[in-house]
Amino acid sequence: SDRAYVIDEMISAKAIAARIEELCRNITDEFGNTDKLVVVGLLRGSFVFIADLVRELDLPIEVDFLEASSYGDAMESSREVRILKDLRGAIEGRDVLVVEDIVDTGHTLNHVTHLLRSRQPKRLKSIALLDKPSRREVDFRSDWIGFEIPDEFVVGYGIDYAQRNRNLPFIGKVRFTG
């Protein structure tokens, strides 16, 4: 997009790190008896969150990735979730944690969890750093959520606006100035 904008900090890097520590204590409790937890990151938005998350998990894990895209470069969900890259490994009979940056309309994580559940994992849970419940279009709730946020266009910590700003260390909100 060519509209001018600035980014205002909404959730600091420090607040994110503190919340991840809390969440990881809960996840470690839940999967404490696992032989191996397959941690599945949804590309591309989750790449920062999953990196911080797995380093706080005191569990035997394996990392895999799946790419599902609904937004492309647009600001609106296409509501049509496409699998652009599937998992490398099989998850039948395994413990699986799906890691996502944000749940907005819910189409992406809803579609992906249905797909993965059809492969009959032993346990399947999901975690999203951010949740925008006011935007939900399908009945979906993640098992763990970092922060519930209002309906603002957010970027940073993996989240893009037209593929930019994923490398910001904090969550910021986009404010259009032009």
Neighbouring CB atoms inside 10 A of 104's CB total 25
Nearer to Mg ion, 28 or 77 (CB): 77
Residue 106 CB, nearest approach to Mg ion (Å)? 15
Please, which of residues 87-106 interact with ligand PRP by CB under 6 A? 100-106
Catalytic residue among 52, 95, 101, 104: 104
Please, which of residues 29-48 interact with Mn ion by CB under 5 A? 45
Q: How many helices (H) and strands (E) does the chain have?
A: 3, 9
Site string for ligand PRP, 21-50 (x = CB under 6 A): ---------------------xxxx-----
104 is catalytic: yes
Q: Which of 117, 100, 108 is nearest to 138 (CA)?
A: 108
Alpha-carbon distance of 54 to 46, in angstroms, equals 12
Residue 125 CB, nearest approach to ligand PRP (Å)? 17
Q: Which stretch binds ligand PRP (CB under 6 A): 7-15, 23-31, 32-40, 68-76?
A: 68-76
Residue 166 CB, nearest approach to Mg ion (Å)? 9
Residue 102 CB, nearest approach to Mn ion (Å)? 7
**DSSP bridge partners of 62:** 38
Residue of the chain from 71, 147, 153, 170 that contacts Mg ion (CB under 5 A): 71
Q: How crowded is the C-beta side of 95, counted as CA atoms within 13 Å?
A: 14
Give the amino acid at 64: D
Nearer to Mn ion, 45 or 172 (CB): 45
Alpha-carbon distance of 6 to 152, in angstroms, equals 13
Q: Which of 33, 72, 26, 66 is nearest to 50 (CA)?
A: 66
- Residues designated as active site: 104
